[in-house]
Structure formats: C-alpha cells, structure tokens
Structure 1
Amino acid sequence: MDSVAIRRRIALGTAVLTASGLLALAAPGSAQAADSYCPGRKVKDLPFSTGTVHVYKANGYVCAVTFPKHSSTAKRPMSVSVQARGNRPVVDKGRYSHHAGPITVHAGHRCVWIKGSVGSGKVSSGWILC
C-alpha cells in the first residue's frame, strides 16, 4: 500500500468518526425538542380527552403548554391559561396545529390555576403547586 492510499483511509476514518460524533451530540437535543418549550423541571401533566397540558416550574415561574393527543397538520382550536392566585389569567387561545403556549407567569410561592383545551376537550386544574 502506498502513502496516498494510507492517507485516504485515514481521512475517511476521521470523517466517519467526526460524523458519528456529531450525530451523537445532535440526537439528545432532538429527543428533548417537545419538552424544550418551557424552562425548568416538569412538575405536572394534566391529561384530558383530546390532549395534555404540561406544567413546568423554575425559580418562581410557572410555564404551561397544551399539546393535542393526536398530532396533525390541521389547525384546530387550542388554548392554555395560567393564573397565579391574586392575578389575572394569562391566556394563549387560537387555532393551532401543534401546541398552544408556552405561557409563563411569575407565581413566586403562590398557587396557580391552569386550564387547557383542544377542540371540545378541556381541563381545569383548580389551585395547584401551593
């Protein structure tokens, strides 16, 4: 084997290792894409007949996102609402295909009331995270 063939094999091996390393780094980020709408840790899921509201908490802030039960590209009515006790609710309501929200409010140590809907299905948490 001459030196040109050896260099080609080394270059090919380096390219394969680099590509596999980049794929390994990219894969975990894409697996967490659905959960990256809100910062913090997931503290509650509020499932209902047509979807789920995911609730996150970080540094006194509460964040919520409504996802439909079945993914589709068709737009449908969706909403998410977060209300810290003593304040007005913050609402995201409209016709969406993938999710409603995220909605983030500063709750501090106060209770929050979370609502979500997809089509005719809805959920209302009552006062939680007190």
Structure 2
Amino acid sequence: MAHDGSVEHVDRRASGALEAEVMAVLWSAGEPLTAGAVRAALTPGLAYKTVLTVLGRLHAKGMLERKRVGRAHAYRPRREAPRASAEQMRAVLDHGYDRTAVLQHFVETLDPADEAALRSLLGPDE
C-alpha cells in the first residue's frame, strides 16, 4: 500500500515501549479500561487494532486481567506498578551472566537518593 501522505504517521517505538505506555495508562487509571479508552490516552493516530494487539499480548503474558463489558473487554493490571517493576528487575538479574557484576553495575548507576534508599532497605552493616 502506497503512502500518500493522508495517513498520520506514528513514529516507531523501541521494542516494548508501547507495552510500557499501555501499562502506564492502565496503572494511572485506577480502574479497568477498554481498548478504546486506552487508545484515547495514548499518542494520537495509533490504530485501534494496534492497541487491541498490545492488550492481548499483555494479557497473554499474565500482566493484565480482562473482563467482558458489553461487546468489549475492560483491562486492568494484575500487579501494581512497583511490584511489576521489581519482577522485571529480578528477571534481568536471573538472566545475567555474573549476578554480582550486574548488581555492581546497577548500584553504580544509582543517584545518591536511590542509593541511600537501597542502603536503608538492606539494613545496617553488622
């Protein structure tokens, strides 16, 4: 299909970026949303079918629950944002070659406030 300039162009996102945007919309909503509501909260020009595809993939990955609402589904995250982020961090750590090196590099990239928070969570040195 030739591009005649009449179709609004949506920039390509990095792998997983659209999933992250969809999850951010759902986390901020605080209630289940239909694909149409999610689409309305995202970048203009994004196809409805694209949003449906992303929601379907996130549901298949176990990240979303869905419930039939009329002819559509309403989606909501299975976990709150902090827990989902922690699970992603753990998955990366589990697939690292050298866990200590991965942790070391991670800690080296923390800003001072995050480093202090992590030290506080780990407890005092004994």
Q: Same fold (TM over 0.5)?
A: no
TM bracket (short chain) = under 0.3
Higher helix fraction (1 or 2): 2
Q: TM-score, normalised by structure 2?
A: 0.22
Query: TM-score, normalised to structure 1's length?
Result: 0.21
| Higher share in strand | 1
